Amino acid sequence: MSTGKSPVKFFAGRESKYIAEKIAQKFGSELGKSTVTVFSDGEFQPSFEETVRGCKVFIIQSTFPPVENLMELLLMADAAKRASAHEVIAVVPYFGWARQDRKDKPRVSIGAKLVADMLNASGVDRIMTMDLHADQIQGFFNMHVDHIYASTIFVPYVKSLNLTDMVVAAPDMGGTKRANAYSRFLGTEMAVCYKLRKQANVIEHITVIGEIENKNVIIVDDMIDTAGTICLASEMMMNKGAKSIRVVATHPVFSGKAYERINNSVITEVIVSDSIPLKQQSPKIKVITIADLFADIINKVYNYQSISSNFIV
């Protein structure tokens, strides 16, 4: 894919090599050599074991917990910039802290904005990420943002199931835009769940708005954390006469008892991307890789081509 422009080099954080290797391979390249020195007190220092001078450096690292994943990305970006890289592009399939996108109560930080500022300060010139928790987070960055939508890979898969009497459901009011996009491309009706929270990660009550009786329901969301919301919503929908429940969610955070809840739920299938590696396997979880999509978009960005044709939104 060489075009005589600045050479391209791919590097990965330690926790994202599984996806970085696939992206680099699909692009027609391979991962560059880098190491991380870990000191006795727990601090660490990434270093590149080959020149990056004058190169477009793509650093692939999702920023899921622990916080060391974010810190490693920042240090790698700083190292690349100090080594005279022509451009530093952070490829962040899952952008952590995105749920902290506003002050929803007094005396709290806006974590998403702070992380965006840190990436900018570290020397990142451009960021590629997927299905941010809130679209407006793009405005937090003082750099180019390529916001990619996983619907590009999920919609064809859902269509391949050949389900009849299908309805797309949003798990909460904030997800109606995403659900509406899926329903348009799948040619279905839409339902919405209204949830009342007692506290973070604890749902008190869910009301379903829309017709779901005798329907194959597809719940769509940007992520699954504890799986409490989707499992409760799925149970309520089945009690209201739904034929089956499937969940499409880009980022498999899967914290706490998420796997146990999913395995014991009425959900037929949970469809996720590999933006975050699974901690364990489940017969109910289907993983679709995003490597081809990211490799294609990286190629188009490198060759100054439009990427809008890659979007189903």
What amino acid positions are annotated as catalytic residues? 195
Tokens for 6? 């600045």
Q: Is 106 left (phi over 0), alpha (psi -120 to 50) or beta?
A: beta
CB-based contact 54:39 (threshold 8 Å): no
Mention every residue, 6+ apart, whose C-beta is less than 8 A from residue 145: 126, 127, 128, 129, 138
State which amino acid sits at residue 200. Answer: A
Distance, in Å, from the CA atom of 300 to the CA atom of 146, rounded to the nearest integer, reads 11
Distance, in Å, from the CA atom of 206 to the CA atom of 194, rounded to the nearest integer, reads 5
State which amino acid sits at residue 11. Answer: F
Q: What is the dihedral of CA 155, 156, 161, 165, to 10 degrees?
A: 40
What residues are paired with 89 via a beta bridge? 58, 126
User: What is the β-pairing status of strands 202-209 and 189-199?
Assistant: antiparallel
